[in-house]
Structure 1
């Protein structure tokens, strides 16, 4: 399938209701409103195609950008490529669920995520923390430095309530993910979550949402989910 065919197919799959939902979450035109599950037949037909992914991502169309992440070749992407994708990720559904997910399958993942976390920019920081969530939830524990992750939990404890809104959400998810998916530091994550308490996420034109990693970790620990790892990160 070439670029034009993919764009036509995405347009045909668009639904007004889905489009409205994406717009309410921060997406803007152009977009068609394609449910992610509806993209699977195209994914199976194309598999991996980095040049096509680059064409689609460059459109600025949310659905095309999302599908670009689905067919991208993370191992072929350089740090400059990921930074370029991040520059164009204008809201959290792109930064955390397209760029961070794609990055998590790259050998450069931790190095780039560390730089983004240190950047001071809301969506880069959010993508960096989110990338660690995708990594921890899918890769073996031995691929991570226990002391480094321990320091990251400490950083969350000390700064989460003062962080930008989307970064707060990703940091909160990081604590939860360590608590469930990284067994060596589960107890520290539980304690961090308890000390952090409830995190308020303020949203423009919407009521605040409230996150509590401690309660969510406890629920999943009670269900015996300690050590959970997913088989696939991308859809």
Structure 2
């Protein structure tokens, strides 16, 4: 299975109506076969390392193919132009909040892109920016992070989160959680901001998904002794 046509045929075969209904409730676009994540991961193993194919898959506009592309692609090999394109053409929140940050956070230009996207007036791109920076925080040693910039972003969350667009509120809240969970020197600051912002209301649509309360989440990580334990990747 090495061509776009072969992979799309396999995706179509694995899709089902019930999964499409579930995806629709979560805001996925109509152009989806409804392939379960477990099946996407099995297909990903077969085409792992095929960077060109991953990029072709994303360009189809089909949700399943775009999600698969994010699993397979090596973000460190992508150009800034490619990453910008992925952010601009993401067709739903799952892609803009997880797939795009998953590859962008692996890139040498991740920090610059994250800051640029955070300033965007486009809700989906701003969301990509906050989650990309959260991904950087989760995977980068504290000594290699720009702690002053992260502090300024925490202050920005404290000032703006309750006036931000719906999905940007969600990713801002997630950013605070990421700082408190992964950056030991900023644990106290993250908890202060989390306490200040309190409950962040986000419309999660026709789903059972809930928005975690940042302070409660961070305190659980702290109690478990897991603050500062970095991840190899934020891809899932």
Report the TM-score when normalising by structure 1: 0.94
Q: How does 1:108-123 map to 2 (within 5 A)?
A: 108-123=109-124
For these two proteins, the number of residue pairs brought into alignment is 235
Partner in structure 1 of residue 62 of structure 2: 61
Shift in Å, 1:50: 2.3
Shift in Å, 1:170: 0.4
Q: Secondary structure at the match of 2:27?
A: coil
Rounded to whole Å, the distance in 2 between the matches of 1:94 and 1:217 is: 25
Partner in structure 2 of residue 135 of structure 1: 136
Shift in Å, 1:15: 2.9
Q: Secondary structure at the match of 2:201?
A: strand
Rounded to whole Å, the distance in 2 between the matches of 1:14 and 1:172 is: 33
Q: Quick check: 1:200–1:211 contact (8 Å CA) kept in 2?
A: no
Q: Quick check: 2:26–2:207 contact (8 Å CA) kept in 1?
A: no
Q: Quick check: 1:201–1:208 contact (8 Å CA) kept in 2?
A: no
Provide Cα deviations, 1:107-162, integer angstroms capped at 9, x if missing partner: 11110010000112211111000011222112211221111101110000000000
Partner in structure 1 of residue 98 of structure 2: 97
Rounded to whole Å, the distance in 1 between the matches of 2:205 and 2:70 is: 27
| Structure 2 unmatched ranges of 5 or more | none
Provide Cα deviations, 1:85-127, integer angstroms capped at 9, x if missing partner: 1121122101011111110111111100100001122111110
Q: How does 1:39-188 map to 2 (within 5 A)?
A: 39-188=40-189
Rounded to whole Å, the distance in 1 between the matches of 2:50 and 2:209 is: 40
Rounded to whole Å, the distance in 2 between the matches of 1:161 and 1:16 is: 37
Partner in structure 2 of residue 34 of structure 1: 35
Provide Cα deviations, 1:176-227, integer angstroms capped at 9, x if missing partner: 1100111110110001000111110124567995541011111221111111
Rounded to whole Å, the distance in 2 between the matches of 1:90 and 1:227 is: 33
Q: Secondary structure at the match of 1:137?
A: helix
Shift in Å, 1:10: 1.2
Larger RCO, structures 1/2 (Cα 8 Å, 6+ apart) = 2
Residues 206, 63 of structure 1: alpha-carbon distance in 2 compared, 3 angstrom cutoff: closer
Rounded to whole Å, the distance in 2 between the matches of 1:15 and 1:185 is: 45
Q: Secondary structure at the match of 1:105?
A: coil
Shift in Å, 1:45: 2.1
